[in-house]
Amino acid sequence: MVQAFKFKGLVIDRQPRISALFEVRAYKIRSMVNFLVDTGARASAITEKEATIMGIDCSSLPFFKYKSVGFGGFYRNRIINRQVILTFKSNKDFHQIKRSSFMVTCIPPKVSGEEREKLIRYIPNVLGMDILKEFKTCVTKNQVELIL
């Protein structure tokens, strides 16, 4: 019988989260990112907060060609137009997922300083169905498991 690879995360404050190593070799970036596991999101994205911590200047990134929608309305996100490698650690081994680009949810430039702070506080890094479709996703009260 073939045993499954299980990638485990934790539920913190009712949010299922999993950590992955986020690499952009073209930018020499290699950083651990804590993602919200969101089966309702079509696409994955890191936040402006995360990009800033990694040393990426969001204003230098090109805009994503499609609009994005949230409860705050429509946004124009930006995109890392370089190969991004996401590495997950399982009970047995590491598993890599490669993407030719990756979205960054950037705060619109025209919002006030106060509004900007609020948005940075609450917008999470999201692992959406573009990545989750490769796994069986199981969320319980205290734990999230991605199974391969």
Partner 1 sequence: MERAELFKISRRNVEWLKENYESLKREYDKLWIMIQDRKVVRSASTFDEIMKTVRKHDPNKILVEYITSEPIAMFF
Q: How far is the CB of 81 from partner 1 (least distance, A)?
A: 22
Handedness of CA 99, 87, 121, 56 (dihedral sign): negative
Taking the least distance from each CB to partner 1, the nearer of 62 and 70 is 70
Candidate segments 48-56, 60-68, 74-82, 130-138, binder of partner 1 by CB under 8 A: 48-56
Beta bridge partners of 142: none
Q: How far is the CB of 1 from partner 1 (least distance, A)?
A: 27
Residue 147 corresponds to which tokens in the numbers above? 């199974």
Residue 94 found at the interface with partner 1 (CB under 8 A)? yes
Residue 70 found at the interface with partner 1 (CB under 8 A)? yes
Q: How far is the CB of 80 from partner 1 (least distance, A)?
A: 16
Residue 82 found at the interface with partner 1 (CB under 8 A)? no
Residue with token string 């124009």:
76
- DSSP states of 10-50: EEETTEEEEEEEEEEGGGTEEEEEEEEE-TT-SS-EEEHHH
Q: Which of 6, 82, 89, 95 binds partner 1 (CB under 8 A)?
A: 89
